[in-house]
A and B are shown apart, each in its own frame.
Chain A
């Protein structure tokens, strides 16, 4: 059913000076699902992700979001359409407080904030909603902490709170669990599950086991191409996927 697809890429290709990083990728993300894009190092996951979020422009191919062609849209524009991304390196505003971080996103509801003559006290009306979001990601004790002082896992939680503040229809998470310990992975996984209610999530991950219990659909990329797609059970049994992950020993 075509109406069921929220984000679709067709024949997505990105070449860097002759090197093909992403080749002819077709991707359909169904509304309300958690979709994982996985693959070994250098498979083109991040390139693919940057193409979908418009931080890169594809060499060929077409991307549609909710039926609108966004192939040539700007990153800020698609964020306004409800397609919001996170970054591999945790993307917080380091020298602002946790509250201020979340408020920057909430402030978007005012439209453009060009009013330099008005006191920032007008932003206090967002505090209530900001604190709700901060509570939701388990950062209640850190409301006035400066973001740079948070431990890594908490920074990611803050980033998710900031992304949620935009109430996006679809969230794109770039390796949300990269560089985390086990407790943090479990906490962020639970958080992603929690925030995915009424939303679509597309996440890029390196590690297959991390996304096992989390995603409805998994797409495996290798060498810039789609190798396999399906749920965890079918993907994990796929011999080609196993080989891609074990290395190309006897290929």
Chain B
């Protein structure tokens, strides 16, 4: 690989990666010092949603598939991990793993059905499946119906990390988020990710080059479902609660909003979007019902003024994709 061709390519490649490493460093540093001046429970909530939005963005931003039922993965993993921790007495790491696996499995089933269609039909199939999961969660005996599963024990992770300590819990949540974030970064920048982008750009052409696009789309769908599940399972342990809110269709809408606000198809956008939305819900809570209207207004302004989202516009200003 000492050819001229490789040397031509080398500088361009290195710069694209370097500034993203810098951005990653800034983000991580922020999360490390943030609990000093920001309420850790808020940060943990935002981190869980940030991971959820990143997982969602993997599908819409890099494969071009708009799922309108991603709450089913967040919620299912929440219920399964809460049930595993509370009823089966699983330690937190196993409970989270079980919840994630359940969402991955649900992802295989939902994905196999949904990827047969494109565009609005894909969105509608995912929505329909998510509604089925919602009504299942409402009716099934183990989910606790309207009450959800409450008082889920946080337990002791790996036998020595006592999660009832808030700061220990914070570091665990941060570690889980960073693991998910880096995994998504790697997926996007892998040979597999290149094919995904090709499918997003021109699926017919990808097919005509010999790629069986359905296989790629299904794997991406399952990865996205599993990572959404990881977010949901972690959230259930953090809040000691699995409830209908997380499987409701409004949650599927909220993750679309977070991703659009932050920047579709950007690495850091969904994290920023999730933080903005969660911050708004927390700090504007005093306005009661008005939060929804303020959210709606911000969304409209966002779509009209900066369609690339907060991070997307920033990246354009810096002339570097973030």
Contacts and interface: CB of A to CB of B under 8 A. Distances in A.
Contacts of A132: 5
Interface string B193-232: 1110110011011111111110110010001000000000
B205 A116 contact: no
A84 B204 CA distance: 12
A118 B183 CA distance: 10
B198 A104 contact: yes
A117 B191 CA distance: 9
B41 interface: no
Given A93-B201, A93-B205, A96-B197, A166 B210 contact: yes
A99 interface: yes
B191 A76 contact: no
A144 B208 contact: no
A107 B194 contact: yes
A75 interface: yes
Contacts of B206: 93, 104
The main secondary structure of chain B at its interface with chain A is: helix
Nearest to B220: A116
Interface stretch (B6-14, B85-93, B235-243): B6-14
B208 A79 contact: yes
B186 interface: yes
Q: Interface range on chain B: under 10, 10 to 19, 20 to 34, or 35 or more?
A: 35 or more
A139 B208 CA distance: 22
B156 to A, nearest CB: 30
A120 B201 contact: no
Interface string B173-200: 0000000000000110111111101100
Interface residues of A, number: 49
B18 interface: no
A107 B189 CA distance: 14
B9 A104 contact: no
A123 interface: yes
B310 to A, nearest CB: 20
A152 interface: no
A94 B186 CA distance: 22
A120 B208 contact: no
Given A76-B212, A94-B202, A119 B186 contact: yes
B9 A99 contact: yes
Contacts of B5: 127-128, 130-132
B91 to A, nearest CB: 26
B190 A105 contact: no
A157 interface: no
A54 to B, nearest CB: 10
B38 interface: no
Contacts of A87: 204-205, 208
B1 interface: yes
Contact of A93 (B187, B191, B202): B202
A93 B197 CA distance: 8
B201 A95 contact: yes
Interface of B: 1, 3, 5-6, 8-9, 12-13, 186-187, 189-195, 197-198, 201-202, 204-213, 215-216, 219, 223
Q: Which 9 A-B pairs have the closest CB atoms?
A: A79-B210, A93-B201, A131-B5, A116-B192, A113-B191, A91-B205, A116-B187, A128-B5, A104-B198
